[in-house]
Chains A and B, each alone.
Chain A
C-alpha cells in the first residue's frame, strides 16, 4: 500500500516514529505496557462509570488526582528526555509532534465529552471494561469504531 502523507489535522495522534523496522515479535513489549496499563485502569477504578460520574459531579478528587499527577509525571519525563537528549532503546532521537489548533478540537472535544459522560469510558477504558467481563461494552466499542469511520467519511464536510 502506498504511504500517504497527511496534512496536519489528519496526522495520527499516536504515530510510530521508529525509523528502524520492528519485527512482529518486538511488538510484545507494547503488549506488556498495555497489560500494565489495563491493570492500573481497573485497580484505580478509572474504568468505572461511577467514578466518571463522581468526577463530572465534582464529588471526588480521585479522577482529577489521577489525570493531574499523570500529566505532571508525563511533563517531567518529556522535559528530562528533551533536556538530556535521551535516546530510544535503538538509539534514535525521540520525536515530538507539535499539534496545530483547528476547530475540530472544540466541536469534536465537546462531542467526545458528551459521550464520555454517557458511556463512562474514553477509548482506553473501553478495552479494559470488556476485559473485566462487561461484555455488553463490545457494542459500545463497535459503535465507537462506527463513529470513527463516519468521521472519516464526512471529514471534508466538517469544520476544522
Chain B
C-alpha cells in the first residue's frame, strides 16, 4: 500500500491524539502561546463589534496569532477534504447508527448528516435549533467557562489545572444531557 492511500484512510486515535497533544508544546515553544481556540471568537468580537463593552476593550491585535491559527484550521479543512479525503463511507458504531436511525437520521455516508447540515435547512426550525441555538450555546458557554475543549480539556489538563477538570466534566455532563434527555424531544419536533 502506498503512503498516500494510508494517509487517506481515517486516522486512528493513537495517531491523531498525540498530534493534537503536540500542539501544546509547539505553540509554547515557537512563540510562548497558550493553546486555546475559543479565544478567537472573543477576538473577532473585539475586532468587529466591541460596542464599548469592557470585555471586548483590549488590544486584540496582540492576539492576532490566534485568528491566524484558526484561519489555518479552516485551510487545513479545505486541504484534507479536497486532497486527502477518505474515499469510503464513514465507519460508525452500529449502535450509534441504530440510535440515530430511530431519531430520523437517514444519511450516514459523510462526516455530517445531510439530513441536518443542508443549507436548505437554515431557515427552518431544524436549522434554528441545530445551527443558531447550538452555536449560541457553544459561544456563550465557552466564554462563561473561560475556555473550550482545547483551552480547558487539553491545555488546562496538560498543566494540571483542577478548574479545567471541573469545566471538562461539565462539558461532558452537558453533552450527555443533550444527547440522552433532550435530543429525543428535539427530533420529535420535525
> Do A122 and B150 form a contact, CB below 8 Å, given A13-B39, A30-B65, A71-B158?
yes
For window 25-47 of A, CB contacts with B under 8 Å fall at: 26-47
Judged by DSSP, the binding face of B is helix
A123 shortest CB reach to chain B, Å: 4
A34 and B166 form a contact (CB under 8 A)? no
Q: In the complex, which residues of chain A have a beta carbon less than 8 angstroms from the beta carbon of B159?
A: 75, 78, 96
A94 and B32 form a contact (CB under 8 A)? yes
B156 and A134 form a contact (CB under 8 A)? no
Q: In the complex, which residues of chain B have a beta carbon less than 8 angstroms from the beta carbon of A98?
A: 161
Interface residues on chain B, number (Cβ under 8 Å): 138
Digitize B138-160: 1 where CB-to-A-CB distance is under 8 Å, 0 elsewhere.
Answer: 11111111111111111111111
Q: In the complex, which residues of chain B have a beta carbon less than 8 angstroms from the beta carbon of A11?
A: 146
B21 and A4 form a contact (CB under 8 A)? no
A139 shortest CB reach to chain B, Å: 4
B178 shortest CB reach to chain A, Å: 4
Q: In the complex, which residues of chain B have a beta carbon less than 8 angstroms from the beta carbon of A140?
A: 130-132, 134-135, 138
A87 vs B174: C-alpha distance when bound (angstroms): 38
B55 and A152 form a contact (CB under 8 A)? yes
Could you count the A-B residue pairs with CB atoms below 8 Å apart for me: how many are there?
553
B144 and A107 form a contact (CB under 8 A)? yes
A22 and B135 form a contact (CB under 8 A)? no
- The answer to the question of A105 belonging to the interface, with a C-beta cut-off of 8 Å to chain B, is yes
> Do A48 and B42 form a contact, CB below 8 Å, given A81-B25, A117-B183, A132-B81?
no
Q: In the complex, which residues of chain A have a beta carbon less than 8 angstroms from the beta carbon of B117?
A: 49, 134, 136-137
A127 vs B40: C-alpha distance when bound (angstroms): 11
Interface residues on chain A, number (Cβ under 8 Å): 132
B11 and A40 form a contact (CB under 8 A)? yes
B29 touches which of A88, A97, A141 (Cβ 8 Å): A88
A148 vs B95: C-alpha distance when bound (angstroms): 35
B111 and A89 form a contact (CB under 8 A)? no
> Do A97 and B34 form a contact, CB below 8 Å, given A43-B80, A122-B149?
yes
- The answer to the question of B190 belonging to the interface, with a C-beta cut-off of 8 Å to chain A, is no
Interface centre among A55, A56, A73, A74, by most chain B C-beta atoms within 10 angstroms, is A74
Nearest B residue to A147 by beta-carbon distance?
B139
A49 touches which of B17, B53, B111 (Cβ 8 Å): B111
Q: In the complex, which residues of chain A have a beta carbon less than 8 angstroms from the beta carbon of B95?
A: 57, 59
A155 vs B143: C-alpha distance when bound (angstroms): 10
> Do A122 and B142 form a contact, CB below 8 Å, given A75-B157, A114-B174?
yes
A144 shortest CB reach to chain B, Å: 3
> Do A43 and B141 form a contact, CB below 8 Å, given A49-B113, A96-B159, A117-B179?
no
Interchain residue pairs with CB less than 8 A apart (6): A44-B11, A44-B16, A70-B21, A111-B137, A111-B145, A123-B138
Sample of 10 more A-B contacts, CB < 8 Å, known A39-B80, A114-B175: A37-B20, A42-B111, A44-B16, A59-B99, A88-B30, A96-B34, A115-B135, A116-B171, A131-B74, A151-B140
